[in-house]
Amino acid sequence: MKKRNLGQLAVSALGFGTMSFASTYGASPEKSEAIRVIRGGHERGVTLFDTAEVYGPWTNEVLLGEALGPVRDEVVIATKFGFNVDPATGTRVGGLNSRPDHIRAVVEASLRRLNIETIDLLYQHRVDPAVPIEDVAGTVQALIAAGKVKHFGLSEAAANTIRRAHAVQAVTAVQSEYSLWTREPEPEVLPLCEELGIGFVPWSPLGAGFLTGTINAKTRFATNDFRAASPRFTETARAANETLVALLRRIAGAKGCTPAQIALAWLLARKPFIVPIFGTRRLDRVEENLGAANIALAADDMTEIETALQAIEIQGARLPEAVLALSYK
């Protein structure tokens, strides 16, 4: 697997986001199968694995810690803080919380669940307007000095917030949704990352599965699958957005690969500091996704895709309104 740098942190060119093992897309697979897939990703070259305390909550960190325990020294583990979780029930309650005391408590708990001594990359999951970002960065800086964290990251943060945080503690990576159908980071965040030497980690690089070409207007989602309530996954939106999938199929056919591989290869070709994290529960999909690292999109290919995208109007907001309200603060 080819390597890329998030700031000074070397990782595989593609990372593995493990949220899909936390019932976000319906019932989770058996633990043994989840561990097999995660370890299979590492065996095939993945070194960056992403989780968060609220995936579950908590259960995803425990799963990842067990799966990667035997290869701890060979991987980069990223996790996140920033929400309130009721310690009695293990459910998310009360919204955002990035108070310094809360950050410190979450880090100690995440270290225990992951069964590691140091978190390689610690993200603020969403910017908390009630806590100055300088206080958040300063708290993480102290955790780095104490050896509990190695690198600092931000998720779904606005450019000015990233700059302010970076002035206190170097930001290694910014993680935001970014793909062929979600391009909000392009005007401000990506240029700032390039300016400051910060890595960029697109989550949902395959559009929650839509860009793989395996979902259409007739697909039915389980009620506990988040896509059942997502504006971009209504039947009407899916029917309209098939135009984008048709484009991917056409490019993929010419390259002898799959639509998912083109979607990932496009991200890799955008900037050398971009490291997408895909999510899947299937080992064959891991192999398919990793194949994108070997697909070279030339300048002419990128121009062709960009020209076609300009004629495609994506239908539906990328997330429900209440979730969108937490982004780009």
Provide the CATH number for the domain around residue 63: 3.20.20.100
Q: Confirm whether 111 is domain-assigned.
A: yes
pLDDT at 91 over 90: no
Contact 272, 43 (CB under 8 A): no
Q: Confirm whether 236 is domain-assigned.
A: no
Query: Structurally, how many domains does the chain consist of?
Result: 1
Arithmetic mean of pLDDT, 173-182: 98
Q: Write out the two tokens for 162.
A: 């990233």
User: Which amino acid, one-letter code, is at 99?
Assistant: R
pLDDT at 88 over 80: no
pLDDT at 94 over 80: no
Distance CA 180, CA 166 (A): 28
pLDDT at 24 over 90: no
Structural domain harbouring 26: 3-206+270-295
The whole-number pLDDT of residue 212 equals: 97
Average pLDDT, the chain: 96
Secondary structure letter of residue 58 according to DSSP: T
pLDDT-derived band of residue 23, with 50, 70 and 90 as boundaries?
confident
Q: Confirm whether 62 is domain-assigned.
A: yes
Q: Confirm whether 136 is domain-assigned.
A: yes
Q: Which of 25, 55, 123, 328 is catalytic?
A: 55
pLDDT at 89 over 90: no
Q: Give per-residue pLDDT as tens, 245-296.
A: 999 999 999 999 999 999 999 999 999 999 999 999 999 999 999 999 999 9
Question: At CB < 8 A and 24+ separation, what contacts does 149-152 make?
Answer: 149/107, 149/118, 149/119, 149/122, 150/9, 150/118, 150/119, 150/120, 150/121, 151/6, 151/7, 151/9, 151/120, 151/121, 151/122, 152/121, 152/122
Arithmetic mean of pLDDT, 233-255: 97
Q: Confirm whether 254 is domain-assigned.
A: no
Q: Confirm whether 171 is domain-assigned.
A: yes
Q: What percent of the chain has pLDDT over 70?
A: 100
Active site annotation includes 178: no
Q: Confirm whether 125 is domain-assigned.
A: yes
Q: Confirm whether 274 is domain-assigned.
A: yes
